């Protein structure tokens, strides 16, 4: 029924177009002079009737073809727009409008050109170029624009009155801390936040939550337990600590790896990535994103031991080299004792000879005290 109504209106449009065409033919003296004819009232009536009927029938017959074309076009548009974000559409339309307004203002200068055809060509070119630039530039610079809006919003929230701007700058604003999957599963982030050494807000991206969910649903029992531990740690941080926790929906559809998405989010928010992943640490640092590495923090707060100091340790196993024995401090630091193999299984007083600091941690070399 609806299609019949639309078909009727489409035929009506054809009739109106036929009437306009007949009016142009009848009122145009150039056509009459070119054909060397004089249109009489009877001929005018015939032209009106013929064109009204002709255009009405054409539009009535072509309606199904037009409707099919519109449906195909709508499907193509719908498919192409599936992966396009709403913010990209809004930025594109806004930029297009601004570009066309600028082109209109520029076209006023082209009107002053003595040669009208040159002014017309330049006006058309300006509308095309500025419209294209207005549509594409905002979508390409989406991250910068969003970041500018976020920073502006954050400044307004922190500085509701203009007179407080200077004091707010002096106090400073806490930099967002982006948690990656490994540091959440590790669990030490809860204890660090509990001590107050990390200022919020803690930002958990939705793609990190999705990865945790996949790990917790894994068929491998070890992975499943690690994933569930990570979700439990997040729940404890939200419920037991007063630190601000934010879940961001920001995602990057053009990137598949979680680490790469985290680095992009760090650039976007100017935040610091909290991790214990050595590779992520290096990649983020190369790309200019600040990183807080839990392992580096743990190494930094280990007790300082100097060569020449004495300590009592429990030798637990043999070392790699002949005669060596190995002991461990409470924080996990390994102590290699030369000529200590005969003391394995007993607590022995040793003398520190040297200390080796590596990316993996710290090793202490010692020898039994005589």
Q: What is the 3-state secondary structure (H, E, C) of 160-196?
A: CCHHHHHHHHHHCCCCCEEECHHHHHHCHHHHHHHHC
The model's pLDDT over 298-324, given as tens digits with 9 standing for 90+, comes to: 777 777 778 888 888 899 988 888 888
37 — pLDDT class (breaks 50, 70, 90): low
| Most distant pair of Cα atoms in the chain: their distance | 133
The model's pLDDT over 114-130, given as tens digits with 9 standing for 90+, comes to: 777 777 888 888 888 88
The model's pLDDT over 191-202, given as tens digits with 9 standing for 90+, comes to: 888 888 887 788
The model's pLDDT over 228-277, given as tens digits with 9 standing for 90+, comes to: 988 898 888 888 888 888 888 888 877 888 888 888 888 888 888 888 88
The model's pLDDT over 90-121, given as tens digits with 9 standing for 90+, comes to: 777 888 888 888 888 888 887 777 777 777 88
Average pLDDT over residues 25-53: 74
Whether 165 shows a pLDDT value over 70: the answer reads no
Average pLDDT over residues 327-331: 81
Which pair of structure tokens corresponds to residue 255? Answer: 């990137």
280 — pLDDT class (breaks 50, 70, 90): confident
248 touches 206 (CB < 8 A): yes
Q: Spell out the residues 6+ positions from residue 182 whose beta carbon is closer than 8 angstroms to its own.
A: 275, 276, 277, 280
pLDDT at 150: 65
CA distances from 90 to 81, 85, 87, 99, 167 (A): 13, 9, 5, 14, 36
Whether 154 shows a pLDDT value over 70: the answer reads no
Average pLDDT over residues 347-359: 83
76 — pLDDT class (breaks 50, 70, 90): confident
The H-or-E segment that residue 202 falls in is strand 202-205
pLDDT at 170: 41
Tell me the domains of the chain and their CATH numbers.
1-82 (no CATH), 84-158 (no CATH), 174-299 (3.40.50.1010), 305-368 (2.40.50.140)
221 touches 263 (CB < 8 A): no
21 — pLDDT class (breaks 50, 70, 90): confident
CA angle 170–176–179, rounded 5-degree value? 155
Average pLDDT over residues 278-293: 87
Residue 86 CA to residue 100 CA, distance in Å, equals 21
pLDDT at 326: 92
325 — pLDDT class (breaks 50, 70, 90): very high
What burial letters (b/e) apply to 178-201, b meaning 16+ CB within 10 Å? Answer: bbbbbbbbbeebbebbeeeebebb
Between 107 and 166, whose confidence is greater? Answer: 107
Average pLDDT over residues 284-300: 84
324 touches 340 (CB < 8 A): yes
Whether 87 shows a pLDDT value over 60: the answer reads yes
Residue 362, strand partner residues? 357
- Whole-structure pTM value: 0.45
CA angle 308–312–316, rounded 5-degree value? 115
Three-state DSSP at 223 gives helix
Mean pLDDT of the chain, nearest integer? 80
Helix orientation angle between 206-216 and 258-269, rounded to the nearest 10 degrees: 160
113 touches 119 (CB < 8 A): yes
CA distances from 286 to 171, 254, 258, 297, 361 (A): 30, 21, 17, 20, 22
Edge-to-edge strand list for the sheet holding 291-293: 245-248, 202-205, 177-179, 272-275, 291-293
Residue 321 CA to residue 24 CA, distance in Å, equals 105
207 touches 313 (CB < 8 A): no
């Amino acid at each position: 029924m609806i299609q019949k109504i639309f078909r009727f209106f489409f035929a009506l449009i054809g009739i109106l177009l036929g009437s306009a065409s007949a009016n142009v033919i009848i009122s145009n003296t150039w056509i009459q002079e070119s054909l060397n004819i004089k249109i009489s009232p009877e001929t005018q009536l015939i032209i009106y009737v013929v064109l009204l009927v002709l255009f009405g029938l054409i539009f009535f017959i072509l309606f199904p073809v037009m409707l099919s074309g519109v449906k195909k076009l709508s499907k193509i548009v719908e498919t192409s727009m599936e992966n396009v974000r709403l913010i990209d559409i809004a930025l594109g339309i806004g930029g297009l409008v601004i570009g066309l307004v600028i082109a209109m203002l520029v076209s006023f200068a082209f009107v002053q050109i003595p040669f009208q055809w040159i002014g017309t060509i330049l006006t058309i070119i300006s509308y095309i170029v500025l419209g294209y630039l207005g549509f594409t530039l905002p979508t390409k610079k989406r991250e910068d624009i969003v970041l500018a809006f976020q920073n502006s919003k954050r400044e307004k929230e922190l500085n509701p009155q203009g007179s407080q701007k200077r004091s707010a700058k002096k106090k400073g604003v806490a930099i967002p801390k982006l948690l990656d999957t490994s540091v959440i599963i590790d669990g030490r982030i809860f204890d660090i936040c509990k001590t107050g050494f990390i200022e919020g807000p803690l930002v958990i991206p939705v793609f990190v939550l999705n990865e945790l969910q996949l790990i917790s649903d894994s068929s491998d029992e070890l992975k499943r337990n690690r994933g569930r531990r990570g979700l439990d740690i997040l729940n404890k941080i939200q419920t037991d600590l007063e630190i601000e926790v934010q879940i961001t929906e920001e995602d990057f559809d053009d990137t598949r790896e979680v680490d790469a998405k985290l680095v992009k989010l760090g650039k976007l928010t100017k935040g610091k990535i909290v991790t214990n992943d050595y590779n992520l640490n290096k990649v983020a640092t190369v790309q200019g994103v600040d990183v807080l590495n839990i392992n580096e923090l743990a190494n930094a707060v280990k007790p300082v031991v100097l060569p020449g100091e004495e300590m009592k340790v429990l030798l637990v196993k043999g070392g790699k080299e002949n005669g060596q024995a190995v002991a461990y401090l409470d924080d996990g630091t390994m102590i290699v004792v030369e000529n200590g193999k005969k003391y394995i299984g007993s607590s022995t007083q040793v003398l520190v000879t040297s200390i080796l600091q590596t990316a993996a941690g710290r090793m202490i070399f010692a020898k039994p005290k005589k």
